[in-house]
Structures are given as C-alpha cells and as structure tokens.
C-alpha cells in the first residue's frame, strides 16, 4: 500500500522514478511504474490528488475513436475501468462505473455520411458494439430526442466513472510508492548521463527517471529541462444543473449534438451540460480558470435543440441550481497525447498533451512503464515524442475534440 503524505522539508530523497503531477494520468503512471518493481515518488503541488483538470472533467470514456493510436489506448483503458478492482487489487473499491453509452447525434442530412464513415472506421479498428442508428429507430430507443434528430452513432459500452475514486484507487493500489502533496517541482537536474534529480520546494529527489504528468503545466516542466514541448492549453467549461424535473431521462447516455458541439449527461441530482467552443482561444496554464457568466444559459440553449426537455428544466431554474467550473484541455500538433521518453534527455519521459486524459489514463500510464522496463520498444509507440520531428503524425477526424 502506498502513502499519501505532506512531507516535511527533506535534505535528500532517492527514488527509481519521480512522477510530476497528481492528476489521474500521474496516479496511473505511478501505479504502473511501482507495479513494475520501481520505487516511486509522485509530487503534486496542490493539497490533494485529482484536484486540477481531472476534477474539472465530466468523467466520461468512450470507445468510439476513428484514429488507431487512440483506439489502441482507450480500448484497454475501458477494460481496466471495467475490471478496476482486479487491476489495483483492492476488492472493495468502487469507481462508480456507469455504462449507458455515448450517443453522437445529428439532424443534418449532410453529416450522415460522416457517421457512416465513422462506423466503418470503428469496425476496422475492432471497436466492438458500435451502431449507426437512423430515423424512427433513434426516437424509439432515445425518446427524449427531438423529432428532427436524424442519425447517431452509439456504443453502449461507453460511459463515465468517478475520477476521484479512480485516481485514489491507482494511488492506494501502488506498491512502494509515496505521494507527496503540497510539493511543487521547481527545477530538473541533468548531468552527463541524463536526468539525475528533481528540485522541489521541500527538497531534492535523486532519480534517473522522471515522468512529466503535469497536465496543463507540462510545457512549464519541459522548459525546466530546456525542452519546448509543442502544447496548447485551451479553457473548457462545464455546468452542473440541479433539477427535480420529474421526466428527466436519467437513464440517457452521454449525448452529443454534433451540429452545435453541445453535450449533456445525467448526474446525481441533475445533469452535466456543456458545449465545446471551437473558437475558444489558447490561454496560459493556470489553476484558477474564470468561467463565463452565461455559459450555462448558452449550453442549455444549445442542448435544448435536440433534447427539448431542457426547455422545461430551464423554465424552473434558479441561480443557485447552477454550478459552472472550468479547466484546460491540452492539445498537441496532432491532438494526440505524448507518451514515453524523449530522445534529447536520457530518463525524461512524458505522459502529457491530453485532451481526454481521463479515459486514456489507465493504458497511458501502463505504456510509460512498459517502455521504461523494455517491454515495449518506443519505436513501436505511435504516440512517441519524436513523431513530431520525424514528421510521422497527422490530425485525425474524431468527433468532439
């Protein structure tokens, strides 16, 4: 069992590996490195694990990806969510897994070929259980949808989890690992052989392996090693809406309007609702992200187009029923994460550049450990950092990124 502690100042500590960042990606990485037999220290600057981007997320996962490198990461991740007790070897852990599916809906006839193409791609990639649902069938199966809803892809294996329980599950299931909260990384030490230490505001940790899981701050950590990682951080918001509306479709899947980029899903006591603004500008990495006063109204307005029950929900809303929060998606040049070592500095690894890092976290952490222990050759890792300088990357056409 691991320890989650606020350390006193220390002169010198040593670990086989240091993980920077205690979000869901860092916790998974620490878990897999420790499972591979390494002594691990994870350092998190905030008061607790899972308190920055991971806490801001809507906690969903989906198998429906059209890019092979993403499908290859998410499929084993979903399997690990489904078998989480066995993965972390904690019989009474409950990560609240809910599998009601992801429904990508359109009412635009011109989009139907895109849905057909996506379904074909899911089948080619071996994503099991994906369906294309058209016309009357759509209303029959999802009666909450507006009559003009025309077509959707759906996979009922998709769903959501508690990210807090999952992050702490990885931490508690780690062996020979310490999780230092309230400990900020301030520098990286490098000698002739590569990485040799991590400087923190509590002291120095000597190590030959560092994994950058700093979420929106991954670029800042990269600069500490003189590396300019091509990352963009972009604000994303969500609204929790408390409602006692009695006809709320509380069994609904995570439902996305592909035309206006809005989405919603049931949540205890109400719904989560949001929209992804494709024109949202890049913003500097930050802990406190301001929200827009009208974000909930705009999200409800957009969601009500294909989910008309939102109009009734909106009619009865009071200001205190709405809670808006925000975090930052991190994008790379091809909108896929960076996982594994970098050639420039021996011992420096990345697990960053995630815009959907919750759902990728189990397999992303495992891949870091597999490469570090020689189980996987980084050349066979399509998400390696060197793909950018090799020019071996391209943007995909996955929905709603």
Ligand X SMILES: Cc1cc2nc3c(=O)[nH]c(=O)nc-3n(C[C@H](O)[C@H](O)[C@H](O)COP(=O)(O)OP(=O)(O)OC[C@H]3O[C@@H](n4cnc5c(N)ncnc54)[C@H](O)[C@@H]3O)c2cc1C
What are the residues binding ligand X (CB under 6 A)? 20-26, 43-46, 51-54, 56-60, 184-185, 213-217, 236-238, 327, 329, 354-359
**E strand map for 204-302:** 204-206, 210-212, 232-242, 254-257, 262-267, 270-275
- The rounded distance, in Å, linking the Cα atoms of 91 and 89 is 6
Q: Which two tokens stand for residue 181?
A: 């909260």
DSSP 182-213: S--EEEEEEETTEEEEEEESS-EEE-S-EEE-
Specify whether the CB–CB gap between 385 and 343 falls below 8 A.
yes
Residue 318, exposed/middle/buried by CB under 10 A (0-12, 13-18, 19+)? exposed
Quote the least distance from Cβ 138 to ligand X, whole Å. 23
CB of 59 to ligand X, least distance (A): 6
Task: Give CA–CA dist 235/117, Å, rounded.
Answer: 30
Q: Output the smallest distance, CB 10 to ligand X, in A.
A: 15
Q: What angle do CA 241, 247, 250 make, to 5 degrees?
A: 60
Q: How far is the CB of 74 from ligand X (least distance, A)?
A: 9
Closest approach, Cβ 215 to ligand X, in A, equals 3
Coil, helix or strand at residue 372: helix
Q: How far is the CB of 181 from ligand X (least distance, A)?
A: 9
Rounded-to-integer distance, Cα 204 and Cα 225, Å: 15
Least distance in Å: CB of 256 to ligand X? 11
> Which is nearer to ligand X, 150 or 188 (by Cβ)?
188
Q: Closest approach of Cβ 35 to ligand X, in Å?
A: 18
Of 130 and 237, CB closest to ligand X: 237
Shorter beta-carbon distance to ligand X: residue 60 or 119: 60
Residue closest to ligand X (Cβ): 23
In terms of CB distance, is 44 or 370 closer to ligand X? 44
Nearest to 316 by CA among 273, 275, 270: 270
Question: Between 19 and 371, whose beta carbon lies closer to ligand X?
Answer: 19
Q: Measuring CA to CA, which residue among 320, 220, 212, 313 is closest to residue 264?
A: 313
- Give the dihedral of Cα atoms 239, 245, 250, 255; nearest 10 deg: -50
Work out the angle at residue 178's Cα, subtended by the Cα atoms of residues 177 and 183, and round it to the nearest 5 degrees.
145
Under DSSP, the state recorded for 215 is G
Pairs from 302-305 (Cβ < 8 Å, separation ≥ 24) = 302/257, 302/260, 302/261, 302/262, 302/275, 303/257, 303/262, 303/263, 303/264, 303/273, 303/275, 305/107, 305/146, 305/257, 305/259, 305/260, 305/262
CB of 239 vs ligand X, minimal distance in Å = 10
Nearer to ligand X, 309 or 329 (CB): 329
What letter would DSSP give residue 67?
S
Task: Look up residue 56 and give its two tokens.
Answer: 């801001």
- Indicate the residue among 167 and 381 with the shorter CB distance to ligand X: 167
Residue count of the chain? 401
Question: Which residue, 58 or 210, is less far from ligand X as judged by CB?
Answer: 58
Q: Which is nearer to ligand X, 58 or 371 (CB)?
A: 58
Cβ of residue 272: shortest distance to ligand X, in angstroms?
9
Tell me whether residue 133 or residue 214 sits nearer to ligand X (CB atom): 214
């Amino acid at each position: 069992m691991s320890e989650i502690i606020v350390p006193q100042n220390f002169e010198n500590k040593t670990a086989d590996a240091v993980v920077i960042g205690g979000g869901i990606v860092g916790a998974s990485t620490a878990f897999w490195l420790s499972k591979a037999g390494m002594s691990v220290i994870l350092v998190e600057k905030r008061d607790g694990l899972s308190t920055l981007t991971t806490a801001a997320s809507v906690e969903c996962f989906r198998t429906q990806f059209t890019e092979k490198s993403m499908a290859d990461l998410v499929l084993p991740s979903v399997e690990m969510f489904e078998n989480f007790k066995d993965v972390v070897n904690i019989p009474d852990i409950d990560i609240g897994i809910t599998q009601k599916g992801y429904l990508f809906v359109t009412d635009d006839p011109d989009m139907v070929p895109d849905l057909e193409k996506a379904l074909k791609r899911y089948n080619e990639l071996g994503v099991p259980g994906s369906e294309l649902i058209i016309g009357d069938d759509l209303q029959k199966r999802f009666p909450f949808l507006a009559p003009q809803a025309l077509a959707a892809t759906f996979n009922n294996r998709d769903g959501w989890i508690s990210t807090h329980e999952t992050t702490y599950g990885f931490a508690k299931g780690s062996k020979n690992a310490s999780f230092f909260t309230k400990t900020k990384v301030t520098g990286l030490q490098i000698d002739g052989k590569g990485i040799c230490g991590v400087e923190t505001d509590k002291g120095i940790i000597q190590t030959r392996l560092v994994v950058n899981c700093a979420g929106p701050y991954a670029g800042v950590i990269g600069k500490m090693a003189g590396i300019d990682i091509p990352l963009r951080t972009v604000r994303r918001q969500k609204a929790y809406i408390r409602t006692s509306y009695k006809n709320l479709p509380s069994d609904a899947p995570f439902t996305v309007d592909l035309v206006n980029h809005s989405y919603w899903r049931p949540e205890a006591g109400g719904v989560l609702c949001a929209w992804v603004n494709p024109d949202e500008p890049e913003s500097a990495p930050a802990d406190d992200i301001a929200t827009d006063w009208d974000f909930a109204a705009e999200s409800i307005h957009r969601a009500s187009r294909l989910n008309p029950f939102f109009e009734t929900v909106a009619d009865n809303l009071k200001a205190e029923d709405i809670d808006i929060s925000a975090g930052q998606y991190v994008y790379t040049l091809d909108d896929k994460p960076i996982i594994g070592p970098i050639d420039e500095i021996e011992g420096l690894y990345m697990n960053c550049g995630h815009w959907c890092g919750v759902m990728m976290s189990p397999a992303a952490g495992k891949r870091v450990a597999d490469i570090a222990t020689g189980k996987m050759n980084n050349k066979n890792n399509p998400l390696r950092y060197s793909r950018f300088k090799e020019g071996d990357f391209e943007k995909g056409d996955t929905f709603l990124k």
